[in-house]
Amino acid sequence: MTGMSGAVKFLVLFTALLYFGVLVIPPIATQPPTLPPGFETALATTAAASTISTAISLPASLLFAFYGLRRGLAPVMPAVTFSTAVPHTAVGLLLLPLFARLGVVDTFPAVVAAMSVVSTPIGVGTLSTLFSNRNKGLDEFLQTLSLNDLAIIWLYLRSAPTTVASTVLLMWLRSFSELGAFLIVGMRPATVGVYLYETFLRLGTAPAVTVALLVAVFGLVFSTLLFLLARAAER
Amino acid sequence: MVILGRNGSGKSTLLQTLAGFIKPVKGAITVDGVDVTGLPPSRRNMGYIPQEPVKLPLTPRQALEYFGRFYGRGYMPLLKELGVDYLVEKRDVSVGEGQLLALALVMLRDPAILLLDEPVSSLDYLNKLSFWKALKNLRKPALVVTHDPLEAAYIADLLYVIEDGKVSGPYPNTMREMSKEALQTFNLYEKLRAEENKGPYDC
């Protein structure tokens, strides 16, 4: 059994390296690194919008998850989480009439709002583990101590700081990596996704691949952080 | 008061209904003659300790100070009454100490009645005895549900039985002395008594 377990372990390791290697090694080998102008601005815009979006979406996700799972509002949860099941261009198209009416299409607020719409379901999903039936007893105990729901949520959050941290990171990353909705309602100011897409269309493969590689390294760093947070949460 | 019943007999459901987490299909729940059937759990003035151990994300001192401020009440006299004042100095608590802390927090609210859903089911023998001793010190009306006949005999003033959701009783607790004798046969019990240099527990 030990031999088989070792073989499976090797297979998993090999597949993981192959997965990342297939994405990263050919571009490095074939493309000279050329970074077109505007990347730093797009990066800063995306980081700022993702941060604001996460700050807005996190409390909303908390309330949706808590009231959905612990206060009997589960039937309305799909109204918030449905966007994970559809292409985000569809989300952009659904937002378009409202944003057009408000006159915010292709503006920073539109970018932040679109990010919030797509990252809130991620927050709800991750925080749902915090409010699952596993922790039902704590909730009931605190209710009979006359705490209000906000105080109960605060105590839940204190009980799982790593879950909260990984939720924040996951929501931020989801906002950061969004493109579909921006193609419809948030092309300006250009976020990294839009910048990458436009670079590919205007300047061709080589510069776009350089940007893609940078973004991949960025993603690798944050994914490692997420993994470490998840490990810490298990302990 | 103790309600004794097998797994799935409806013990927890009964307690959750009394505490306000489940709506009764019919009938009314009254506390000191006041109908609380329509009230949420937070306004029923009942102290509830669930079956699964309560793990608060606070040190005992933080939890006691937080709820002490919340209820406008000092916690040290209560802890001394319960015989668990040592908890304040602890950074981490065991499962048993966690349940004792939960009992102290519930008592800070000074509820009209305690609802205890097998609160010692996951505790070791000594912690069980500590919990029942602390409960006895409170002299507070308590409704305890358990599946353990020995435990029921040990703590019950009034003994009821629940089966398929139907409660019958009260039955005379004729097993109390026998349960004490049974418990005294455990060396651990003797050890605890010797350590604390106190007389036998008389719940």
Q: From the candidates A146, A148, A163, which should be mutated to test the interface with B, based on the most B CB atoms within 10 A? A: A146
Alpha-carbon gap, residue B100 to B91, rounded angstroms: 15
Q: Let me know the angle formed at the C-alpha of A111 by A63 and A127, rounded to the nearest 5 degrees.
A: 25
Distance CA A101, CA B136 (A): 68
User: Higher confidence at residue B157 or residue B129?
Assistant: B157
- Residue B112's contacts (CB-CB under 8 Å, 6 or more residues apart) are B31, B32, B45, B46, B141
Give the per-residue pLDDT at A27.
Answer: 76
* Cβ neighbours of residue A65 closer than 8 Å, sequence gap 6 or more: A123, A124, A127, A128, A130, A131
pLDDT tens for each residue of chain A, 235 residues long: 567 788 898 999 999 888 888 887 777 777 677 788 899 999 999 999 999 999 999 999 999 999 999 998 999 999 999 999 999 999 999 999 999 999 999 999 999 999 999 999 999 999 998 888 777 888 999 999 999 999 999 998 988 888 899 999 999 999 999 999 999 999 999 999 999 999 999 998 888 988 898 898 888 898 898 888 888 877 6
Among B18, B42, B100, pick the best mutation site for testing chain A contact (most A Cβ within 10 A).
Answer: B42
Residues B139 and B113: beta-carbon distance below 8 Å: no
**Number of CB atoms found within 10 A of residue B99's CB:** 26
Residue B107 pLDDT greater than 90, yes or no? yes
Q: Which one, of A168, A176, A180, A196, lies nearest residue A46 by Cα?
A: A176
Q: Which residue has the higher pLDDT, B89 or B188?
A: B89
- A14: its two tokens: 């090999």
Local confidence band at B177 (pLDDT 50, 70, 90 cut-offs): confident
- Note the pLDDT of residue B137: 83
Q: Is B137 on the interface with A (CB under 8 A)?
A: no
Six-digit token pair at B63? 């939890």
- What is the rounded average pLDDT of the residues B124-129? 78
What b/e sequence results for A24-61 when a residue is b if at least 16 CB atoms lie within 10 Å of its CB, and e otherwise? eeebeeebeeeeeeebeebbebbeebbbbbbebbbeeb
Query: Is pLDDT of B199 > 70?
Result: no
Nearest Cα neighbor of A58 from A104, A127, A153, A156 is A127
pLDDT at position B192: 59
The beta-carbon neighbor of A143 closest among B42, B54, B67 is: B42
Contacting residues of B for A155, CB less than 8 Å apart = 56-58
Grade residue B112 by pLDDT with cuts at 50, 70 and 90. very high
What distance in Å separates the CA atoms of residue B100 and residue B82, rounded to the nearest whole number? 9
8 Å CB contact of B51 and A155:
no
Lowest mean pLDDT among A113-122, B113-122, B123-132, B158-167: B123-132
Task: State how far the Cα of A111 lies from the Cα of A46, in Å rounded to an integer.
Answer: 9
Highest averaged pLDDT of the listed ranges A106-110, A125-129, B97-101, B105-109: A106-110
The answer to whether A137 faces chain B, any CB pair under 8 Å, is yes
Mean pLDDT of B47-71: 91
How many CB pairs below 8 A link A and B? 58
Give me the mean pLDDT over the B23-43 stretch: 92
State whether residue B39 sits within 8 Å of chain A by CB.
no
Q: What is the pLDDT of residues B64-92, one digit of tens each?
A: 999 999 999 999 999 998 888 999 999 88
Inter-residue contact B133 to B202 (CB < 8 Å): no
What amino acid is encoded at A160 in this protein?
A
- Chain B residue with CA closest to A133: the answer is B52
Using a CB–CB cutoff of 8 Å, tell me whether A72 touches chain B.
no
User: Mapped to the 3 state alphabet, what secondary structure does chain A carry?
Assistant: CHHHHHHHHHHHHHHHHHHHHHHHHHHHHHCCCCCCCCHHHHHHHHHHHHHHHHHHHHHHHHHHHHHHHHCCCHHHCHHHHHHHHCCHHHHHHHHHHHHHHHCCCCCHHHHHHHHHHHHHHHHHHHHHCCCCHHHHHHHHHHHHCCCCHHHHHHHHHHHCHHHHHHHHHHHHHHHHCCCHHHHHHCCCCCCHHHHHHHHHHHHCHHHHHHHHHHHHHHHHHHHHHHHHHHHHHHC
- How far apart, in whole angstroms, are the C-alpha atoms of residue B36 and residue A162? 39
Cα radius of gyration rounded to whole Å, chain B: 17
Report whether A62 contacts A125 (CB < 8 A): no
Q: So what's the ipTM on this one?
A: 0.83
| Residues in chain A within 8 Å Cβ distance of B46 | 144
Decide if B54 and A137 are in contact by the 8 Å CB cutoff. Answer: yes
pLDDT-based confidence at residue B200 (cuts at 50, 70, 90): very low
Cα A202 to Cα A81, A205, A211, A213: the distances in Å are 35, 9, 14, 18
Number of residues that make up chain A: 235
Helices A205-234, A161-176: crossing angle, 10 deg rounding: 170
Nearest by Cα to B82 from B63, B107, B58, B65: B107
Give the relative orientation of helices A39-70 and A108-128 as an angle to the nearest 10 degrees: 40
Looking at residue A165, what is its pLDDT? 92
Residues on chain B touching A162 (C-beta within 8 angstroms):
none
Ranking A118-127, A168-177, B94-103, B173-182 by mean pLDDT, the lowest is B173-182
Return the structure tokens found at B4: 């004794």
What is the pLDDT at residue B203?
44
User: With an 8 Å Cβ cutoff, is B103 touching chain A?
Assistant: no
Residue of B52, B69, B117, B118 to mutate when probing chain A, most A C-beta within 10 A: B52
